[in-house]
Amino acid sequence: MPKRADLNQFEIIQKLRSIGVSVQPLYVVGFGCPDILAGWQNKNFLMEIKTDKGKLDDYQKKFMENWKGQVAVIHSWEEAFQVIGIKI
């Protein structure tokens, strides 16, 4: 099932793009797919964005259990920067 964007998603995307990170929103895919795909220095990063009180749903948990690559759960642009290796 498709889902909605978390309220902090747009700020995180804006901050990442402001430093030159490529960002493709994926939240409309639903079914546990992480919210964004970020590209930085020839590497890709999947990130699931949650608010401070947000919890992973069953689809998201299943996706992360079965995914053979990296997926990070973040709550802020600062955490997004840490995932891609940018020091604040």
Reported pTM: 0.92
Integer Cα distance of 84 and 2 in angstroms: 26
CATH 1.10.8.190 at 9-84, yes or no: no
Q: Spell out the per-residue pLDDT of the chain, length 88, in tens.
A: 456 677 799 999 999 999 999 999 999 998 999 999 999 999 999 999 999 999 999 999 999 999 999 999 999 999 999 999 999 8
Q: Are 12 and 77 in contact (CB under 8 A)?
A: yes
Residue spans per domain, the chain: 9-84
